[in-house]
Structure 1
């Protein structure tokens, strides 16, 4: 079980009230809550620790390099622009991560790293998809922008790689549309029934959806190919040469932090990444409810391609939570149909919820973050289905209650 415990960091106060504070990261993990409640903070910390664990397993550098005092703040918290959250903490800071291969705790400005038995560890491709992705449709090359966010720079680079990998048109799951890349002019074109236009001229929904879908599809496909190749690990001699090249990259002061990460990624291509950790902020951004269902189905499909894949979402949308309930109920119904021998009903179920989207209730965790006191609560379930008594649906009911009060006021006139 991969899990994270966070107390008194940024918007997070006491953290999770149960399970000794541990947030379990299942196959699908979702954070909901108001702005500034800590959803993205938790997702970014999970992203950072997942990357650190991967680098440790891969042997990029020794534990003592990570454990150096100030390293976490200057290199990893700053990567997601979280370093200022160390100031003005609500109380005693406590951040701890337990993965398959390493346990990592952040104490007194440095990391305490403990190696675990990791026979089942799958080297992941860790991808963070930021909410600020809309504008990148206008960018031909990541180098055109001078950004302070290293994570956004990396997503821009991934988007560029995904575009370059396109061979012909790629079918999109919404509006019977497809995307193609004009490499000569560096332009993404969106095609649909009776029209063709540049992505820069498309709706904001497409400008948010296409980068998310394209990068997710690209890495899911890449990881699946690498998994099937079953590449052999490096020999002792290769590992030693790899270590020296890594040291050379980080000793090169002429390279920016992003360039070092990219050089390290290229160098590490000889390793076989067999899992995708896809962390997505606000997948619903600028999308109609039916399109939110389509992007969720796509993300769940990519996630289902590997048993050790992880999908982490932050969302403000009640539709995302409700659609996850569909996927869980669909799984339950699938099991009942098979058990009863009524296989003739499976095509009808497939038409409602595709088989690759079905989710076991034990593989999903939804957490609510409260901006008022920094607390976190796991959303309860009823017969395995996420409760509709959640923050997002509560505000829908609040709107209805306010409208009822208006009607009562009108009747008193």
Structure 2
């Protein structure tokens, strides 16, 4: 947490300098760069992960403009990167600077205590509900969609005994023999591919988020390929056979190797969690995502949204934490009856930014510093304009009533 991202002149992103918290939210009109910023964050977090695991030397990514041609291409951001693009990302272990079409990486020499499981949940996620076995179709989508599809397959196995959706008393069941996903309601059963659009978009997101957060909570080891296992075993043997190291040093070095191959946090980056959902269902889905995020200390949740309901729901979660912090035991019970503690967001754990191509300031925080809440004016930026139009039309309509 507290990762810093600076961007200038990259596609729709004009200029910003932001800090990521445990929960980070982006809101704004279409085409303002919300997803672009989220994808950049995902790219650098992944890059930091593989470098901390020593899977690549720093020079590999610094050469041949691989930042653009390999890393940005995964999220299809490569066409946004120009000779004027400037990006700095300061993570936990490394500092990355992209300037004049060259990436420079600085190692902060921080101790690695585990690695992140990173999931980018794209807006195109509904396709995995309706095209579960259509590999060719998935390959036409960005790399993040194919990766998400693979994780959805894993989530089905994880929840092989069934999964309860966070809204409308709906359940999921997977028939592995026939490769069919089923959705069951109180009095009906339908294939996932034939279910409502809100179910198709939210089910994969919720299942993948919960399965990965549980995996991280259990401190599961990273699955290594045979080549990676052989490399790890060779490194352990080198340490154990080196007489220059004391036993305590050997234990420490092997412990570091173990930490570098074990998940210790889940970085969940979700585009538009509200897709195709009624407001009440939006709330239940957000509660699920935030609760999963709270399950491990180092977890992070990054959201992009167009929905004012998302802002209002997040505000309720901030208020829940504020109220709970000062409450006595009886009041705490009352607060938890309204909103579970797992869904509370402390003020210091939230960052929220509005991106706008039409305003003088492209990127601004919408957290009111005094109240610690999302500013009222940003809860529903369209409402005032809609009501102004309605009132003007009603005044004209009222004049016709006497005719």
Contact 2:113 2:259 (C-alpha < 8 Å) held by counterparts: no
Residue 75 (1) aligns with residue 76 (2): no
**Correspondence for 1:214:** 207
1:153-172 correspondence runs (5 A): 153-172=146-165
Contact 1:142 1:153 (C-alpha < 8 Å) held by counterparts: no
1:142 CA drift (Å): 5.9
Match of 2:325 among 331, 335, 338: 335
Residue 56 (1) aligns with residue 51 (2): yes
1:66-145 correspondence runs (5 A): 66-87=61-82, 92-119=84-111, 122-141=114-133, 143-145=135-137
Rate the CA distance shift 1:354–1:120 in 2: closer, same or farther, 3 A. Answer: farther
String of CA shifts for 1:180-223, please: whole Å, max 9, x gaps: 11001111111121111111111000000101011111111111
CA distance in 1, matches of 2:157, 2:120: 19
Secondary structure of the residue aligned to 1:290 is helix
1:4-403 correspondence runs (5 A): 4-13=5-14, 15-16=15-16, 21=17, 23-87=18-82, 92-119=84-111, 122-141=114-133, 143-145=135-137, 146-226=139-219, 238-239=231-232, 241=234, 271-337=261-327, 342-372=328-358, 375-381=362-368, 382-390=370-378, 393-403=380-390
Runs of 4+ that moved beyond 6 A: none
**5+ residue gaps in structure 2?**
237-257
CA distance in 2, matches of 1:135, 1:236: 34
CA distance in 2, matches of 1:236, 1:352: 48
Higher relative contact order (CA 8 A, sep 6+): 1
CA distance in 1, matches of 2:157, 2:229: 34
**5+ residue gaps in structure 1?**
244-267
1:330 CA drift (Å): 0.7
1:236 CA drift (Å): 12
1:412 CA drift (Å): 2.9
TM-score (norm 2): 0.87
- Give the total of aligned pairs: 371
CA distance in 2, matches of 1:296, 1:412: 45
- Segment of structure 1 superposing worse, 69-78 or 45-54: 69-78
Rate the CA distance shift 1:93–1:399 in 2: closer, same or farther, 3 A. Answer: same
CA distance in 2, matches of 1:317, 1:287: 10
**Correspondence for 2:255:** none
CA distance in 2, matches of 1:360, 1:54: 27
